[in-house]
């Protein structure tokens, strides 16, 4: 689960190094998992965390739940702030109690973030919440933007758990013996969302056991279509315009599934979906995924990848050069470009690859043929014959090590 969340954080750009992040925690399973995941990853992400509990004043038990949150914050040695939300002020004609509570909560959190200088407020919505939200909007009537569901980012709010199912979260909590409470309103059938969760979705699951995944995929497809029309959150790597409805749904399903995949669309184009990042590239008859001849390989997992003159191997081993969890997948293998720079491991600053290759006495004729491993941001990580980059260097907290090497083909 942690790797999925880290991937979401990286691909969606939820945090940046040095961010002060307010973690909104109610004591329920989702927000308690969010707190502990961010606490586990705080050093590798470079985050400073503060815990915030919001009391809506609607239930007598809420104060006791916030006592649990305060205790967990103290156990993790994190600051805790208790906020009171003015629900009555948000309760207007036609606004439900739950919607008024949501508005009051978000308003109080945003105001606190502004006072504290916090760039982000992390919320605990997860994939099942996404499915329920999409279905709720379908039942009430919605357009393309509404079908996009809960956004990953809407400043200052971010939702790192949106790619994780409720069942995964509960397993995480039980394995680590993390305490949590259940909000009784989640089972109160007077509320529409409770009826959707406990009645409507189970009934739909009898027809399609994967209905939740289908709704999440629908939301992803709507966001893709919305991006193509200049709507929605963020921007794809390249603008997606004029996709057919069928192609947009296919791309949405690929995006919801995660990893890297592609779908051919009209006009001799291919839409490539890679961990939420989307790009359009031309394709010819019989064209496959990027090849060494095209000068670029996208790598979404460890393995062996053919390159001109040999094979690039990425393998999780005890003596690897990189912290696998600090790297943002997918990675890219490409040829050297003019102006490429890298900060070698232990070096004081970045240097031109050409100068590093000269110092390493790499034969001039081989310099342009060696593979260059980079991040999606085009930061150089590895070149055969050179020290690995400082970026991704293992730390005492590293759990998984990744070894990268280039094995030349026999006779080359």
Confidence label for 206 from pLDDT (cuts 50, 70 and 90): confident
State which of 170-174, 179-183, 216-220, 294-298 shows the largest mean pLDDT.
Answer: 170-174
State which of 30-44, 132-146, 172-186 shows the largest mean pLDDT.
Answer: 30-44
- Pairing mode of beta strands 310-316, 401-408: antiparallel
Q: Which of 282, 300, 319 is the last residue of a domain?
A: 282
In this predicted structure, what is the pLDDT of residue 126?
92
Identify whether residues 250 and 113 lie together within a single domain. no
Tell whether the model's pLDDT for residue 164 goes beyond 50: yes
In this predicted structure, what is the pLDDT of residue 254?
55
Q: Which of 149, 171, 187 is the last residue of a domain?
A: 187
Burial of 322 (0-12, 13-18, 19+ CB in 10 A): buried
Identify whether residues 379 and 261 lie together within a single domain. no
Residue predicted with more confidence, 351 or 271: 351
Identify whether residues 28 and 169 lie together within a single domain. yes
Tell whether the model's pLDDT for residue 327 goes beyond 70: yes
Angle CA(403)–CA(404)–CA(410) in degrees, nearest 5?
120
Q: What residues form DSSP beta bridges with 152?
A: none
Q: Does the residue 79 lie in any domain?
A: yes
Angle CA(177)–CA(180)–CA(183) in degrees, nearest 5?
155
Burial of 230 (0-12, 13-18, 19+ CB in 10 A): exposed
pLDDT digits (tens, 9 = 90+) for 222-264: 776 655 444 444 434 333 444 555 555 555 555 555 444 555 5
For the chain, give the percent of residues with pLDDT over 90.
28
pLDDT digits (tens, 9 = 90+) for 81-135: 998 877 767 666 556 777 778 888 888 899 899 998 899 999 999 999 999 888 8
DSSP reduced 3-state for 143: coil
Q: Does the residue 132 lie in any domain?
A: no
In this predicted structure, what is the pLDDT of residue 247?
58
pLDDT digits (tens, 9 = 90+) for 389-406: 999 999 888 888 999 998
In this predicted structure, what is the pLDDT of residue 17?
84
For 248: left if phi > 0, alpha if psi spans -120 to 50, otherwise beta; the answer is: alpha
Q: How far is CA 233 from CA 14, 225, 256, 381, in A?
A: 12, 11, 15, 30
Structure tokens at 75: 């156990």
Residue predicted with more confidence, 310 or 290: 310
**What CATH number has the domain bearing residue 376?**
3.50.40.10
Residue 141 — φ and ψ, nearest 5°?
A: 95, 125
Q: Does the residue 180 lie in any domain?
A: yes
DSSP reduced 3-state for 6: helix
Structure tokens at 110: 């945003």
In this predicted structure, what is the pLDDT of residue 232?
45
In this predicted structure, what is the pLDDT of residue 284?
46
Domain that holds residue 324: 292-408
Tell whether the model's pLDDT for residue 297 goes beyond 90: no
Q: Does the residue 144 lie in any domain?
A: no
Mean pLDDT of 8-27: 88
Tell whether the model's pLDDT for residue 219 goes beyond 50: yes
Residue predicted with more confidence, 295 or 281: 295
Q: Does the residue 207 lie in any domain?
A: no
Identify whether residues 120 and 21 lie together within a single domain. yes
Instruction: For 260-353, list the strands marked E by DSSP.
Output: 260-265, 269-274, 277-282, 296-299, 303-307, 310-316, 322-323, 331-334, 341-342, 351-352
Residue predicted with more confidence, 266 or 71: 71
Q: Does the residue 150 lie in any domain?
A: no
Burial of 231 (0-12, 13-18, 19+ CB in 10 A): middle
Identify whether residues 304 and 267 lie together within a single domain. no
Identify whether residues 172 and 48 lie together within a single domain. yes
Confidence label for 275 from pLDDT (cuts 50, 70 and 90): very low
Q: How far is CA 185 from CA 62, 195, 308, in A?
A: 12, 11, 60
Number of C-beta neighbours around residue 347 at 10 A: 13
Identify whether residues 32 and 170 lie together within a single domain. yes
**What CATH number has the domain bearing residue 113?**
3.40.50.620
Alpha-carbon span 302 to 315, nearest angstrom: 5
In this predicted structure, what is the pLDDT of residue 412?
40
Tell whether the model's pLDDT for residue 44 goes beyond 80: yes
Q: What is the DSSP letter of 199?
A: I
pLDDT digits (tens, 9 = 90+) for 348-382: 888 999 999 998 888 887 788 889 999 988 899 99
Report the number of distinct structural domains present in the chain: 3
CB 380 within 8 A of CB 372: yes
CB 6 within 8 A of CB 160: no
Mean pLDDT of 282-297: 49
In this predicted structure, what is the pLDDT of residue 181?
87
244 membership: H or E segment, kind and range: none
**What average pLDDT is seen over the chain?**
80
In whole angstroms, what separates CA 109 from the centre of its chain? 22
Q: Does the residue 354 lie in any domain?
A: yes
Identify whether residues 27 and 80 lie together within a single domain. yes
Residue 296 — φ and ψ, nearest 5°?
A: -160, 130
Identify whether residues 117 and 223 lie together within a single domain. no
Burial of 370 (0-12, 13-18, 19+ CB in 10 A): buried
Q: Which of 248, 282, 316 is the last residue of a domain?
A: 282
Q: What residues form DSSP beta bridges with 331?
A: 299
Where does 196-268 have alpha helices with state H?
201-207, 211-228, 245-257
Identify whether residues 276 and 314 lie together within a single domain. no
Identify whether residues 302 and 267 lie together within a single domain. no
Identify whether residues 81 and 12 lie together within a single domain. yes
Structure tokens at 369: 């043929």
Tell whether the model's pLDDT for residue 207 goes beyond 90: no
Alpha-carbon span 41 to 114, nearest angstrom: 24
Q: Does the residue 206 lie in any domain?
A: no
In this predicted structure, what is the pLDDT of residue 93?
53
Structure tokens at 267: 């006009």
Residue predicted with more confidence, 231 or 299: 299
């Amino acid at each position: 689960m942690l790797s999925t969340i880290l991937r979401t954080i990286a691909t969606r750009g939820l945090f940046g190094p040095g961010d002060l992040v307010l973690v909104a925690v109610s004591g329920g399973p989702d927000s308690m998992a969010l707190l502990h995941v961010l606490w586990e990853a705080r050093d590798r992400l470079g985050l400073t965390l503060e815990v915030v509990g919001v009391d809506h004043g609607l239930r007598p038990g809420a104060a006791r739940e916030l006592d649990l949150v305060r205790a967990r914050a103290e156990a993790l040695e994190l600051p805790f702030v208790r906020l009171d939300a003015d629900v009555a002020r948000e309760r207007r004609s036609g606004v439900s109690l739950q919607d008024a509570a949501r508005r009051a909560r978000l308003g109080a959190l945003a105001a606190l973030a502004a006072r504290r200088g916090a760039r982000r407020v992390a919320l605990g919505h997860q994939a099942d919440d996404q499915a329920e939200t999409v279905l709720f909007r379908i039942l009430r009537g919605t357009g393309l933007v509404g079908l996009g569901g809960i956004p990953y980012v809407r400043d200052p709010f971010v939702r790192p758990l949106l790619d994780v199912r409720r069942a995964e979260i509960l397993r995480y909590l039980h394995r680590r013996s993390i305490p949590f409470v259940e909000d009784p309103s989640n089972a109160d059938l007077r509320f529409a969302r409770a009826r959707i969760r406990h009645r409507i979705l189970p009934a739909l699951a009898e027809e399609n056991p994967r209905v939740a995944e289908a709704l999440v995929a629908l939301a992803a497809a709507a966001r893709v279509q919305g991006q193509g029309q200049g709507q929605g959150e963020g921007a794809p790597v390249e603008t997606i315009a004029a996709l057919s409805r069928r192609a947009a749904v296919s791309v949405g399903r690929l995006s919801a599934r995660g990893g890297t995949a592609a779908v051919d669309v009209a006009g001799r184009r291919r839409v490539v979906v890679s961990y939420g990042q989307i790009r359009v590239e031309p394709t010819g008859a019989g064209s496959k995924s990027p090849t060494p001849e095209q000068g670029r390989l996208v790598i979404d997992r460890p393995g062996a990848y053919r390159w001109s003159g040999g094979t690039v191997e990425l393998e999780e081993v005890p003596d690897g050069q990189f912290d696998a969890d600090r790297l943002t997948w997918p990675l890219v293998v490409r040829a050297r470009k003019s102006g490429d720079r890298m900060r070698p491991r232990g070096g004081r600053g970045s240097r031109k690859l050409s100068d590093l290759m000269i110092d390493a006495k790499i034969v001039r004729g081989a310099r342009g043929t060696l593979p260059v491993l980079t991040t999606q941001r085009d930061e150089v990580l590895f070149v055969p014959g050179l020290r690995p980059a400082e970026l991704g260097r293992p730390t005492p907290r590293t759990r998984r090590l990744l070894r990268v090497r280039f094995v030349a083909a026999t006779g080359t």
